[in-house]
Chain A
Amino acid sequence: MTTQHTDLTTAGDGPAPTTAGRPPLPLNADPHTSRRLGRLLTGAGAVLSFAATMLPWTWTAEFPGDLTIAFYPAGLQLLTLAAALLTAALLLASAGVTGLRWLTPGGKHSALLLMTLANLGVTWYTAGAIATELGGLVNFEPGMWIGVAGTLLAVIGALALPTDLPPGADGGTPAAGPWQRLRHAFKAPAPGSPAPLPGWAEILIICASCAIGLYAFAYGIEAEDGPPFIGFLVMAAFAAPALGKAGLFRRLSALTARHRGVTLAAAFAAALLFPVTQSNEAYTNIAVSVLIFATVALGLNMVVGLAGILDLGYVAFLGVGAYTAALVSGAETSSIGLHVPFWAAVLIGAAVALVFGLVIGFPSLRLHGDYLAIVTLGFGEIFRISVQNLDGDSGPNVTNGPNGIPNIPDLEIFGFNFGDEHTLLGFELGRFANYYLLMLLFTALVVTVFRRSDNSRIGRAWIAIREDETAARAMGVNAFRLKLMAFALGATLAGMAGTVLAHVEFSVNPESYKFVHTAPPNSAFLLIAVILGGMGTVSGPLIGAALLYLIPAKLQFMADYQLLLFGIALILLMRFRPEGLIADRRKQLEFHETGQLDIPAPATAGLGKTEA
């Protein structure tokens, strides 16, 4: 790390962009001097914060993660360490150091600024958490102070670097006030087309990315509740946009678009390996719930994202599947008392959900837009209330009413009992790991169904209906039939996921299938997962669902504020990234009219003509 300074000073005037704009915080009137000072400061900050992680931050091990040992970064210190290293790497890359330039094909200083902010966020959050939990600044060891100062220094340095885009380059007015200049500093150009890599290298990059993704997910799920997890969130919230600004995600998505099959296989393999990385059953429990939730969200995405049917009662189909499986799987309280093998339970659950989908869809899909949304919301609630009332008092006893159906036995397929621990290739796989692997097959199935139907005659017709139903019908699309197909297919997939859910959770209960509730799965959360992740994409709902499940599960102590926080998060998302975290190619173009050569011509007088 000590060589960094020499690097900085020698490469200071390297092939840095000359068109860049004025920095938000110039340290010197001369832009060259300001840039050099900025790099120096950022580098010094990175080194300091790196050094800080080698020192103890507090005196007692009471603070989660034990930050007391010198030369042994732990817990939140690890995050600061990672942020410091990434800051250094981005700094060197933006200075044009050979061998690192691939890190910043897009924005350079904007990415660096965000990364220094990630560093600052994590370190200062830790400082704040130590001060509040242990009671005062007196609990800081010198290392903490070094970290606080170092990260601040790095941010100041990054602010002194020129912006990536010249003022007004993005079509806006040249930045005038400091606030506008600051906002301008976060703007980054799109990366150019990459130099061609050999095929094996591209595949290797995809595999490595999947491994990193798995590691980040496993780290997040393992992070202790409370400060360590919040620190992880803070880090992710800044570091992910930083890498996005640097253009790495776009490069990656270009690669994955070229190697679809490889990407899917690598992602599947990474997901398959997840239980192996876990030793604690509680975390695999969360993981299997995430997987079920994500699968159902993906099914909903087919209905909402492709066919444009706003279904606010989707969770009812999950409930139909779960209840059906519970009734036919030999639970003692089941009113049917049947015990069929699992494959039959899946088929029955899917078939019953399909029938429900057709029965509900047939009348309600004649409506459009808001009316349809309200009707589906109504049907969703009707399902829950009916299930509650079919208890033998107010109706025939089918579902056991509010008590639900408890004690659903574990699955047993070919003598493989899902409730027992199994040792596979030396790895211990507990109950939830078994179900996780089973559920993964269903997820793969839903992903396949989604991808294949999207890119086909049927999928195009769905999207056409979403875009303009009248025009679609005029092009020969039987809109009602196709919408019913999408609705029923979505219901079937949710029903299938429900059959697994019933076994994983031991019991089914009407209260789990509300429209809105503080914890997933419920219809509102499913829809949020789709919108948060990105409508019409495969990975979007999966990531959205993972975040949406993981965050409440890890932040139990904030349960009272969860819905409020979600509201705020959603508003921010809609303001800054309306297309969702993962942008569909179409949505990306829809919301950001850049990247295409021809911008639509302004509507001409012909449109104003009156109807003949």
Chain B
Amino acid sequence: MTTTPTTDSAPAPRSGTGGAVLEASGVTMRFGGLTAVRDVDLTVRAGEIVGLIGPNGAGKTTFFNCLTGLYIPTEGTVRYKGTVLPHRSHLVTQAGIARTFQNIRLFANMTVLENVLVGRHTRTHEGLLSALVRGPGFRRAERDSEQRAMELLDFTGLAAKRDHLARNLPYGEQRKLEIARALASEPGLLLLDEPTAGMTAIETTATRELVLAIREQGTAVLVIEHDMRFIFNLCDRVAVLVQGQKLIEGTPETVQNDDRVIAAYLGTPFDGEPGEAEAAEVRAAEQTGTAGTDTTQGKAD
């Protein structure tokens, strides 16, 4: 906390009206003496894909948990389409924010279809009594739910595996299923926590296509990711979180070229600045290397 990164999020266009889907203002999360997230503002507008990046331990997932009601932020408010969100996870989903998890959290021993049907929970209202009576209304609702779930499985390309157990899906498809399950709650905003972690380059590309297709359907997306190429190719805006504070927010170009971001990932350059020779060497190395680390990517682009 002592490195004092200046917090002028200058280039980020301020809003608060109109098409804002999510408005987080002054979100602070303290765990005892540790401030994991400090005074973060973030706005996501309808139809936007916003990226949230930062080094490990920057507080990205904590911030996500504050948004989705898993944590109650110590200070600050989160608004969804103008109304303040309650601090209860299921009410947040009901309001229209769905999420995926960094470590996949599917219902492992339910089938693929059942997983998506659980996602429909907030959009259906058949209680215990109607389940016991099994009237026509119940049957219709079940049929509609299943139809909608199958549409989503078609959309994510999992329709053929509807009766498989979620735990038996390959890793990439588990990620897809998590997204399908989140979409089943018909969210206005989808929060993706590292959707491409552990994926191959091809799977990452497919995920990018999927996120773009989700945006096409009118759902705004907020995505945490470590894969810089993925983020900068996908997002309309990127916010950088460093040590719990928002360092900068802006277009991918702005963020990539910001010295503070590079410093946050690589550390500040020491006094004796590297000469031209070293810089050329680094550049050459970056060009030969296929998929460099996050930080070198940020620098090379």
Residues of A within 8 A of B (CB): 448-449, 452-453, 456-461, 463-464, 467-468, 470-479, 485, 489, 586-587, 589-590, 593, 596, 598-601, 603-607, 609-612
Contacts and interface: CB of A to CB of B under 8 A. Distances in A.
Interface string B94-137: 10001101111111111000100111111010111001101000
Given A458-B128, A596-B165, A600-B170, 17 more contacts: A452-B134, A456-B131, A463-B107, A464-B110, A464-B118, A474-B93, A474-B105, A475-B181, A476-B121, A477-B90, A586-B110, A589-B165, A590-B109, A600-B167, A611-B56, A612-B59, A612-B102
Given A589-B165, A600-B167, A476 B185 contact: yes
Contacts of B194: 606, 609, 612
Interface centre among A604, A611, A612 (most CB of B within 10 A): A612
6 contacts: A470-B105, A473-B90, A586-B110, A600-B168, A607-B197, A611-B102
B262 interface: no
B142 A612 contact: no
Contacts of A464: 107, 110, 118, 121
Nearest to A448: B132
| Interface residues of A, dominant DSSP | helix
Contact of A460 (B61, B118, B167, B170): B118
A465 to B, nearest CB: 9
Nearest to A599: B168
A479 B121 CA distance: 11
A464 to B, nearest CB: 4
Contacts of A596: 164-165, 168
B70 A474 contact: yes
A477 B121 CA distance: 6
Contacts of A471: 101, 105-107
B77 interface: no
Name the residue in A464, A473, A475, A606 with the highest tally of chain B Cβ atoms < 10 Å from its Cβ. A475
Contacts of A610: 56-57
The 3 closest A-B pairs by CB, nearest first: A606-B198, A606-B197, A476-B122
A604 B204 CA distance: 14
Nearest to B170: A601
A586 B198 contact: no
A452 B108 contact: no
B264 interface: no
Contacts of A460: 110, 114, 117-118, 121
Contacts of B138: 456
B60 interface: yes
Given A457-B121, A598-B169, A467 B90 contact: no
Interface in B167-188: 167-171, 181-182, 184-185
B165 A452 contact: no
A501 B146 CA distance: 42
Nearest to A593: B168
**Which of A467, A470, A605, A609 has the most chain B CB atoms closer than 10 A to its own CB?**
A467
B9 to A, nearest CB: 19
A438 B52 CA distance: 64
B246 to A, nearest CB: 14
Interface of B: 54, 56-61, 68, 70, 89-90, 93-94, 98-99, 101-110, 114, 117-122, 124, 126-128, 131-132, 134, 138, 141-142, 145, 164-165, 167-171, 181-182, 184-185, 194, 197-199, 224, 226
A483 to B, nearest CB: 13
A213 to B, nearest CB: 27
A208 B99 CA distance: 51
A485 B105 CA distance: 24
Contacts of B170: 598, 600-601
B102 A467 contact: no
Contacts of A457: 117, 120-121, 124, 126, 131, 141-142, 145
A116 to B, nearest CB: 37
B142 to A, nearest CB: 7
B121 A461 contact: yes
Contact of A456 (B70, B94, B119, B126): B126
A453 B57 contact: no
A586 B109 contact: yes
B223 to A, nearest CB: 12
Contacts of B181: 475
B115 to A, nearest CB: 8
A603 B171 contact: yes
Nearest to B167: A600
Contacts of B127: 458
Contacts of B94: 476
Nearest to A587: B109
B128 A609 contact: no
B70 A476 contact: no
A453 B128 contact: yes
Nearest to B193: A612
Nearest to B59: A612
A479 B89 CA distance: 10
B174 to A, nearest CB: 8
Given A485-B128, A610-B57, A467 B108 contact: yes
Contacts of B107: 463-464, 467-468, 471-472
B105 A601 contact: no
A342 B170 CA distance: 56
A113 to B, nearest CB: 32
A605 to B, nearest CB: 5
A587 B110 CA distance: 10
A593 B56 CA distance: 35
A471 B177 CA distance: 13
Contacts of B106: 468, 471
A593 B109 CA distance: 12
Contacts of B185: 475-476
A606 B56 CA distance: 13
A467 B109 contact: yes
Contacts of B104: 607
Nearest to A477: B121
Contacts of A463: 107, 109-110, 114
Contacts of A489: 128
A479 to B, nearest CB: 7
A475 B186 CA distance: 11
Contacts of B120: 457
A463 B118 CA distance: 9
A612 B61 contact: yes
A252 to B, nearest CB: 21
B199 A606 contact: yes
Contacts of B117: 457, 460
Given A452-B132, A470-B105, A607-B103, A612 B56 contact: yes
A429 B72 CA distance: 64
A475 B93 contact: yes
Given A458-B131, A606-B199, A611-B102, A478 B90 contact: yes
Given A467-B109, A611-B57, A453 B168 contact: no
A598 B102 contact: no
A604 B171 CA distance: 8
A464 B197 CA distance: 24
B199 to A, nearest CB: 7
Contacts of A467: 107-110
Given A457-B124, A596-B164, A607-B103, A612 B171 contact: no
